[in-house]
Structure 1
């Protein structure tokens, strides 16, 4: 799967203040505020879930569940941390639940099997070298596969850091880890990814 990186987090004071203003209105049952908040954050949530699961369709469903949880939990929300940190905690919980459900009930999709069984397309003899876009697509697919094979904590840490550009302190809040533990998890994840992607990195 090729997924564009999520936009970097907007950590400006204005953005943080806007999140708090939306949540104050959502606490009062304001559905328009919820719609505005979803529009502001859904792309990042969907992108993060897709990177974690390797599945765009499920990512849309789980992102919807994330914002349903935001709506239902709004009355209990207290701004003791950034709103985005709280949002990604909810995302983490739902993604980890889905990953564990998949381990218990592995799906054998006929569509996926058919896709895996497709014959390799013969190269055009008039083309001397693979197209750069195809090489890039292959590498992106290899990166996604390598990320999917990481343990879930490592996977979440690398996705939050690489694609969402979230600071170590916030990743620690999201995953319930100290900053040194986050750095250790990221070091192990990057080491494993480098090993898995060695053939691309050495070229």
Structure 2
């Protein structure tokens, strides 16, 4: 196994507190809140700027949660529609991203449960799973590229197979650099409960990926 592939597996399967450094700042939140308050007054330019600032994070999170990139844009669009509709009643009691990802959580959980009830997961959907990382085709050899694709598929599946709260906690913590308290607000959990969800998720991911790690 190449050092790059091994590092990828170690990063996901052994996520540590020290590996995550939240990047969101109070100034970022101040900008978001100011924009959202303008959206509440039906400022379309402010709404477009808010979408520009956050659409990548929303689409990425939804795609990772559902395991299907083709559905992510539709769900993300619903997130922003709900932001627009709720803006006149919005009060900045928490960080804007907490408010936004709570909306995303509700939509994603509802969609996951709808699909589970109707058993609509098809082989085509599983084959089109959203990859969390993309190999560098300019530097990776064909063999290394194939190996990384296989590992990415294994990581995608391992994360997708987690219970929904564990899955979202992992995604928000690892890929959105979100602190425990904000994850707790999004998932309506205490900080100790968030840490417990992440601990169980780490163990499950390590078990799922052990055969790759052993190699």
Same fold (TM over 0.5): yes
Select the structure of larger CA radius of gyration: 1
Q: Which residue of 2 aligns with 1:76?
A: 89
Q: Deviation string for 1:115-141 (max 9, x for gaps)?
A: 69xxxxxxxxxxxx9711111111111
When residues 28 and 10 of structure 1 are mapped into structure 2, their CA distance, relative to the original with a 3 A threshold, is farther
Is the aligned partner of 1:183 residue 2:166? no
CA contact (8 A) 2:67 2:156 kept: yes
Aligned residue runs from structure 1 range 75-154, under 5 A? 75-107=88-120, 109=122, 111=124, 131-154=143-166
The alpha carbon displacement at 1:77 in A equals 1.2
2:46 maps to: 33
- The match for 1:59 is 72
The runs of 4+ residues in structure 1 deviating greater than 6 Å are none
Q: How far is the alpha carbon of 1:111 from its aligned partner? A: 4.6
**What residue number does 1:4 align with?**
none
Q: Please state how far the C-alpha of 1:168 moved relative to its aligned partner.
A: 0.5
The count of corresponding residues between Structure 1 and Structure 2 is: 183
Partner residue in 2 for 1:125 = none
In the alignment, structure 2 segments of 5+ residues that lack a partner are: 1-20, 129-140
**Among 55, 60, 81, the residue aligned to 1:47:** 60
- Residues 110 and 11 of structure 1: is their aligned pair in 2 closer, same or farther, counting only changes over 3 Å? closer
Residue 195 (1) aligns with residue 207 (2): yes
Contact 2:37 2:90 in 1 (8 A): no
RMSD value over aligned CA atoms? Answer: 2.0
Structure 1, unpaired ranges of 5+ = 1-7, 117-128
